[in-house]
Amino acid sequence: MKKLMTGNEAIARGAYEAGVLVACAYPGTPSTEILENVSTYDEIYSEWSTNEKVALEAAFGASVAGARAMASMKHVGLNVAADPFFTIAYEGVNGGLVVITADEPGMHSSQNEQDNRLYAPHAKVALIEPSDSQECKDYLKRAFEISEQFDTAVLFRVTTRVCHTKGVVELGEREEVGIREYIKNPKKYVMVPANAKEKHIEMERDRLPKLHEFSNTTDLNRIELNDSKIGVVTSGACYMNAKEALGDKASYLKIGFSYPLTDEKFKEFAKHVEKIYVIEENEPYMENYIKALGIDCIGKEEFPLCGEITPQIIRRIVLGESTPSTYKLDILPPNRPPALCAGCPHRGIFYEMSKYKNKINVTSDIGCYSLGASAPLYVGDTVICMGAGFSSGIGFDRVNKMAQRGKKVFGVLGDSTFFHSGMTGLVDAVYNKSDLVMVILDNRITAMTGHQENPGTGRNIKGEEAPMIDIVSIVKACGVKEENIKVINPYIMSQNKEAIKAALEAEGPFVIITKQPCALIKEVQKKRANLYSEVDDEKCTKCKTCFRIGCPAISMVDNKVIIDKVQCNGCTVCVQTCPYKAIKVHQERGGKNE
């Protein structure tokens, strides 16, 4: 049976066919759909973990107990999971363990484009890279076999184009490998220094030489001989792009097993071709290794270090050919930078905060709230990584006091981010008596990555009822005084105003928790389907105050302010903002704005 699948869907299918029993992840583009699809297989226990570190540790625990297990995450998620990842490399596995990292050359939805291939030689674990959907499924099954054969975790690296491109996949049956016997073995799994020293020596002496020998013989690395003038060494999505650009005009050494890198096949390939191009996105990972072998090749001196490498780039550099545009546009579409959605519950408090630009600094975080830093709100001085909205705010506040700037610092993050890595920052602020204002924007979902459940939603990955972790209770338990906690409806502008005023006057850690569900949640859309705001042209003075909230539903057409009722869902922020009461909520066929 064959099926059209994205790479992420094919990875999930590979997990099913490989007999995986436990799969854990934290959502993040471009990896999110992996676990979403794994969760459709009832044979596999799957969970959204609170963060990537927890996901890997849970998967590793399952592996030690004897099950095949996997953890998936986007590239920056492996930074969060790096602590257990490096130690797991020493310990090895019982049931097969695969760690999926979804890298993002080009940074379409990420804050950096780090090359996670470099984690493999750093941690010294096996590395596998598929190029298309069929290989995603097949290579994942091989990854579990390699994991168990060589007693190692396997890093399985995909990139955006591999994750999201569809291809035909030949499906197979599930192999029930069962649960291996667990035998207590502290020397293997208890990494106190005495044991870790022995495991490090064992890894260097035994496992890595065997993996290197395997890399020289495995069919995951293959030579495809065509024209002998041009040779291309490549992997992942770049292999597909090179084949599209060059076809039979080049010979190829496709690397699928990327650590340890093969030396014999590189040397063999060099004998068959006159000129070698190493085509890889981001770091010169293979290029440096090949040059260290004394093999001449062309790499980053021609190919870009930043961004994606397209067939057009390859054709231009290797063949000297430029690809003409296949079509022309009569007009160029305007730039459309990302913005908070119409009706976003974050807009109201950001708009109120924007009025205090001379009195506050705002350390923001990864998620929808990072969009508050964009025009016209400009609320946000920093965005680093998940949890840093609070943690960096603590340091920012200290220096503001040292410099006597007289500015209050507001740290902002969302509900899922709070559970992911915000709680530790909150504890730090309480423990170290920071005057940080911590704003938790609770929209009842993990929104930016596509509405995944989290510990605060009351449902698990399968949509089943689950305990709903109460953020207010956690904040109180961490030591924030009750009078320094404000829970508000961010659609009510007076509540936003009062909360920010109280925060500015307060001493010690102060927490504002906004509670309104994401406007794009299906149930919310149904409730508000009959609501939208409209402008009274007779009252409107065209002062454009409503434009300051940055709602994409509001625009100026033919010198008239209009509100697109298709986008609008009657959140009423613009109604409360208009100084001339020229905007009102229109209600059709009933409906209630909850």
Residue 334 has a pLDDT of 81
Query: For residue 253, what are the CA distances in angstroms to 132, 244, 283, 509, 554?
Result: 16, 15, 18, 58, 54
Check residue 437 and give its pLDDT: 98
| 377 and 490 part of one domain | yes
Instruction: Give me the sign of the Cα torsion angle 376, 382, 384, 386.
Output: negative
Contact predicate 157/101, CB 8 Å: yes
Alpha-carbon gap, residue 256 to 210, rounded angstroms: 17
Check whether 578 is labelled as a binding-site residue: yes
Q: Can you point out the beta strands (E) in 403-530?
A: 408-414, 437-442, 485-488, 510-515
Query: Rg (Cα) of the chain, in Å, rounded?
Result: 27
| Residues 247, 389 within the same domain | no
381 three-class SS: coil
Tell which residue, 110, 56, 111, 48, has the closest CA to residue 78: 56
136 assigned ligand-binding residue: no
The answer to whether 478 is a known ligand-binding residue is no
Whether residues 48 and 108 fall in one domain? yes
Of the three residues 304, 319, 334, the one that is the final residue of a domain is 319
546 is in an annotated binding site: yes
Is residue 95 within 8 Å of residue 23, measured between CB atoms? no
Q: What angle do CA 135, 141, 144 make, to 5 degrees?
A: 135
**Ligand-binding site membership of 341 (annotated):** no
pLDDT at residue number 335? 82
Contacts of 202 (CB under 8 A, 6+ apart): none
Shared domain check, 205 and 233: no
Is 163 annotated to bind a ligand? Reply is no
Spacing of C-alpha 69 from chain mean position = 20
Q: Give domain status of residue 328, yes or no.
A: no
Q: Which residue, 217, 235, 251, sits at the end of a domain?
A: 217
* Alpha-carbon distances, residue 23 vs 8, 16, 191, 281, 336 (angstroms): 14, 10, 24, 28, 37
Structure tokens belonging to residue 209: 């030489």
Residue 167 · residue 141 · CB < 8 Å = no
pLDDT of 144 reads: 98
Name residue, tokens 């190829």: 252
For residue 6, tell me if it sits in a domain: yes
Assigned domain for 325 exists: no
| Cα–Cα distance measured from residue 101 to residue 129, given in angstroms and rounded to the nearest whole number | 10
The reply to whether 300 falls in a domain is yes
Do 492 and 504 share a domain, yes or no? yes
**What pLDDT does residue 177 have?**
97
Q: Are 288 and 417 found together in one domain?
A: no
| Confidence at residue 193, expressed as pLDDT on a 0 to 100 scale | 97
* Distance from C-alpha of 342 to C-alpha of 303, rounded to nearest angstrom: 41
Same structural domain, 145 and 257: no
- Specify if 341 maps to a domain: no
With respect to residue 465, please indicate whether it lies within any of the assigned structural domains: yes
Q: Pick from 523, 551, 575: which residue ends a domain?
A: 523
CATH for 552:
3.30.70.20
Number of domains observed in the structure of the chain: 4
Q: Is 238 annotated as ligand-binding? A: no
Q: Give the C-alpha separation, 414 to 420, whole Å.
A: 10
Kindly state whether residue 324 falls inside one of the protein's structural domains. no
Same domain, yes or no, for 28 and 159? yes
Per-residue pLDDT of the chain (594 residues; tens, 9 = 90+): 999 999 999 999 999 999 999 999 999 999 999 999 999 999 999 999 999 999 999 999 999 999 999 999 999 999 999 999 999 999 999 999 999 999 999 999 999 999 999 999 999 999 999 999 999 999 999 999 999 999 999 999 999 999 999 999 999 999 999 999 999 999 999 999 999 999 999 999 999 999 999 999 999 999 999 999 999 999 999 999 999 999 999 999 999 999 999 999 999 999 999 999 999 999 999 999 999 999 999 999 999 999 999 999 999 999 999 876 667 778 888 888 889 999 999 999 999 999 999 999 999 999 999 999 999 999 999 999 999 999 999 999 999 999 999 999 999 999 999 999 999 999 999 999 999 999 999 999 999 999 999 999 999 999 999 999 999 999 999 999 999 999 999 999 999 999 999 999 999 999 999 999 999 999 999 998 889 999 999 999 999 999 999 999 999 999 999 999 999 999 999 999 999 999 998 765 343 444
Q: What is the pLDDT of residue 301?
A: 97
CATH number at residue 474: 3.40.50.970
In a shared domain, residues 174 and 261: no
DSSP per-residue string spanning 292-315: HTT---B-TTTS-SSS---HHHHI
Range of the domain at 363: 347-523
pLDDT computed for residue 466 by the predictor:
97
The answer to the question of whether 574 is labelled as a binding residue is yes
Tell me if residue 156 falls in helix, strand or coil: strand
**397 and 483 fall within a common domain:** yes
C-alpha to C-alpha distance for 150 and 375, rounded to whole angstroms: 53
With CA atoms as reference, report the closest residue to 469 among 459, 455, 483: 455
Q: Are 468 and 557 part of one and the same domain? A: no
On whether both 61 and 180 belong to a single domain, the answer is yes
**Does residue 594 form part of some domain?**
no
